[in-house]
Structure 1
Amino acid sequence: MNKELIVSSNRHETMAAILEDDQVAEIHIEREHQRGVAGNIYKGRVNKVLPGMQSAFVDIGLERDAFLYVSDVVDTIEEFERLESGDGDDSPADGGEANGDAARPRGNGRSRSPQRSAQRPTQQIEDLLKAGQEILVQVVKEPLGTKGARVTSHASIPGRFLVFMPTADNIGVSRKIDSREERSRLRGIVRQFRDEHGFTGGIIIRTAAARRPKEDIEGDLRYFHELWSEMRGNMESLRAPAVIHHEESLVAKLIRDFLNDDFSAIRIDDRDEHARVLRLVERIMPGMVERVRHYAKEFPIFEEYGVQAEIDKAIRSKVWLKSGGYIVINQTEALVAIDVNTGRYVGKRSGGLEDTIVKTNLEAAKEIVRQVRLRDLGGIIVADFIDMDDRKNRQKVAQAFERELRRDRAPSKTIQVSDFGLIILTRKRVRKSLERQLTDPCPYCSGSAVIKSSSTICYDLLSEVRKIGPELNGHAVQLRVNPDIARVLEQEQRGVLRDLERVLGRGVTVQPDVRLHHEQFDVMAT
């Protein structure tokens, strides 16, 4: 698969698009005044401990307190105290295999026998944390809606080849590195550096480290060693709540985590950003420096490569399929609902209804996964495919959906509900979806996407006049309404206006007012 990274950057925002075979697959946005907090490490203060929920609220200096589960605290308090005091045994525990790049050991990383773990009593949040206590936490999930950030005490800082975990003390190796000799070589490099520099903390060796020279691995280790020394100094000097470590910029994160030989080009329109990326790529993957290119045209880079058109489509609910069918995507507070329709596609003369439905569903399965990635949808996602009679066809669509989902880096699980033609997907949500980042709720309809019909407002007006009529004391009445309602009262709903006059026993003056919302009206005695 051919990939490209397209970066549009200015003083106000940076946007990056990942193209897969010339099709936009992912969009990432970072705005100067709305920089995300996921990955940041804070010195926080516990505000409230909730034994009933086995969790705590931690003040990290944001608008809302962060949420900390007991599972994200267990076994880390003792380790934090040991690291902060600078004493304790810093020799690594051998073993502790990492289950892939994203894996990280829970607790302090020391290996325990199953018998010992089973005998250990379950720890309660009230025994681990107290209100007013200071604690080091890392944001793992951005604040979303009315919810505060989700944090953990199991901090981890990724590099290009390694992941550093201050609260662990073992060395793990990605299981994707299957050579015993290579695993041993990489562990040896890390052990030697730790012994020579008195470097505490756990290390996971990422897949990208395979067959890399010793200098590259030690480069990450030196960076972590200096960073942790700086963070410990900040922990001692700064008062909670305070930021101890800022996550890297958007483009640096993308290159650090995703850059590989599949990328044929990295195109950047900002000269300063281009220079920064050149330096970064030269350090971590010098063989790809020539693929970093500066886009110098005046014409916007996102327009040039068709990215802007995809962004504009991604904030609409309806997505057309090439066959003429379409899918409708609706985000709600509880879940994302996706509906599949045949639309203008009526199939071929040689095929039957089932063939038409299967073709539409297969095309929709591919597009749904692309839209999920493009829009960065998370939580519970329910895809309602068109009903199919043949069980084999239902299985065929489910397999196509699963196959496309393998391209997605975000952790997810799927469940097929065969009898109803549904596929339910749960996808990890770390930050706001693309729509939530680029749009605001409509101020006119308060985000509901509907307003009362003109007829409904006319009937509401009649009901209101009946309620307050006796209080008007025989005065003349003026109705101040939105111009659209004034027109309806004088035309389609003229009967309502006559009923108003009959209820009041006198004539009614209708006064259009463009300043009034469609649903607003005033009944005034004159």
Structure 2
Amino acid sequence: MSTELLIDSAPTGSRIALLKDKNLVEIHSEGGENQFKVGDIYLGTVRKIVNGLNAAFIDVGYEKDAFLHYQGLGPQINSLNKFTKLVRNNNYPNLNLKGFEKEPDIEKLGKISNVLSKNNQVLVQVVKEPISTKGPRLSCELSIAGRYIVLVPFSDTVNVSKKIRSADERKRLVRLITSIKPANFGVIIRTVAEGQSVTELDKDLRNLYTTWEDGMKKLAKAKGRDKVIGEMSMASSIIRDLLNESFDAITVEDELIYDQIRSYIRSIAPEKEKIVKLYNGKAKLFENFGIEK
């Protein structure tokens, strides 16, 4: 089965069409003004605690405050808050978690007022983008997604996608990742990691760890509402999740996006860089491929 991606452009943002064997199977829209993508990590400020909802409303810079439920805090919220304060007070200069003493897990059925207070600053991650009159939905269980793995700070567990069926392969991946992951980081092994070499997995892990360190450098100087770690564009995230041997064409209408996509693929799968093409037809890209119809 061949897989093809078409990316057109407009003043209001990009549209992304996924084709399999020339048939349209998915279409996505990415608004040019949407700054609050799923996966983005912000330094937020608690504006209001609502005990009746067991939730807090957080200012991350959107016109409406974002929503954070107690269940979205994650068991290690106290460790996250402790680390955030240390970094922002310049009392944790190495920015990694080696030697960091984690706090006990919070209660599963506790109250948010026992964890957060008004005007607290807290690291939060967008898990649902803003829609209509609602602001983003947030979580404090941070994660950074790569091509083969997901890096989870303040955790120690290594989990494998259930779609990897082979018991031997699951054991191999867990053993491998456990031997190379940094201290106080958990890892979720994605389905596409099946059969991958230690070199590829280690490269992905190192890239994610660098993303974490760069974000923590930003955190040290950040102000409330600042984004400290940004998720990639929708097109890049689709490529990250789907790129495999069957991906045989990526056609891009905008030259800037074309350069970004080529650069991203060069970093994760240089042998695939040649499949990225810049469209220069007379008709619009989606019209030419029959997507509009």
Q: Specify if TM > 0.5.
A: yes
Identity value in percent: 30
Aligned structure 1 segments of 4 or more residues deviating by more than 6 angstroms: none
Q: Amino acid of the residue matched to residue 137 of structure 1?
A: V
Is the 2:6–2:18 contact (alpha carbons within 8 Å) kept by the matching residues of 1? yes
1:31 correspondence with 2:31: yes
> 1:430-445 counterparts in 2 under 5 A?
none
In 1: Cα distance, 2:254 partner to 2:50 partner: 48
In 2: Cα distance, 1:83 partner to 1:221 partner: 21
Q: Counting helix residues as a fraction of each chain, which structure ranks higher?
A: 1
In 1: Cα distance, 2:10 partner to 2:203 partner: 30
Is the 1:7–1:267 contact (alpha carbons within 8 Å) kept by the matching residues of 2? yes
Is the 2:154–2:184 contact (alpha carbons within 8 Å) kept by the matching residues of 1? no
Which residue does the alignment assign to 1:220? 204
In 2: Cα distance, 1:48 partner to 1:272 partner: 41
> 1:442-457 counterparts in 2 under 5 A?
none
Q: Residue 292 of structure 2: SS of its match in structure 1?
A: helix
> 1:84-233 counterparts in 2 under 5 A?
84=84, 85=86, 122-194=109-181, 198-233=182-217
Is the 1:83–1:200 contact (alpha carbons within 8 Å) kept by the matching residues of 2? no
Q: Amino acid of the residue matched to residue 244 of structure 2?
A: N
| TM-fit CA distance, 1:137 | 0.6
Structure 1 gaps of 5+ residues are 92-106, 111-116, 310-526
Deviation string 1:497-524 (CA, Å, 9 cap, x unpaired) is: xxxxxxxxxxxxxxxxxxxxxxxxxxxx
Which residue does the alignment assign to 2:47? 47
In 1: Cα distance, 2:26 partner to 2:75 partner: 37
TM-score by length of 2: 0.85
Deviation string 1:341-385 (CA, Å, 9 cap, x unpaired) is: xxxxxxxxxxxxxxxxxxxxxxxxxxxxxxxxxxxxxxxxxxxxx
In 2: Cα distance, 1:88 partner to 1:21 partner: 47
1:65 correspondence with 2:65: yes
Deviation string 1:395-428 (CA, Å, 9 cap, x unpaired) is: xxxxxxxxxxxxxxxxxxxxxxxxxxxxxxxxxx
Cα 1:121–1:277, aligned 2, differ >3 Å: closer, same or farther? closer
Which residue does the alignment assign to 2:89? none
Which residue does the alignment assign to 2:285? 301
Q: 2:263 aligns with which of 249, 254, 279?
A: 279
In 2: Cα distance, 1:121 partner to 1:259 partner: 37
Which residue does the alignment assign to 1:464? none
Aligned length: 282
In 1: Cα distance, 2:265 partner to 2:286 partner: 22
Which residue does the alignment assign to 1:248? 232
Q: Tell me the C-alpha RMSD between the 2 structures.
A: 2.8
Q: Residue 52 of structure 2: SS of its match in structure 1?
A: coil
Cα 1:303–1:206, aligned 2, differ >3 Å: closer, same or farther? same
Deviation string 1:99-124 (CA, Å, 9 cap, x unpaired) is: xxxxxxxx99x9xxxxxx9xx67311
In 1: Cα distance, 2:82 partner to 2:121 partner: 15
> 1:316-355 counterparts in 2 under 5 A?
none
Which residue does the alignment assign to 1:238? 222
| TM-fit CA distance, 1:265 | 2.2
Deviation string 1:234-267 (CA, Å, 9 cap, x unpaired) is: 2221121221111111221110112233434222
TM-score by length of 1: 0.49
Deviation string 1:300-349 (CA, Å, 9 cap, x unpaired) is: 1111111123xxxxxxxxxxxxxxxxxxxxxxxxxxxxxxxxxxxxxxxx
| TM-fit CA distance, 1:65 | 0.5
In 1: Cα distance, 2:256 partner to 2:47 partner: 42
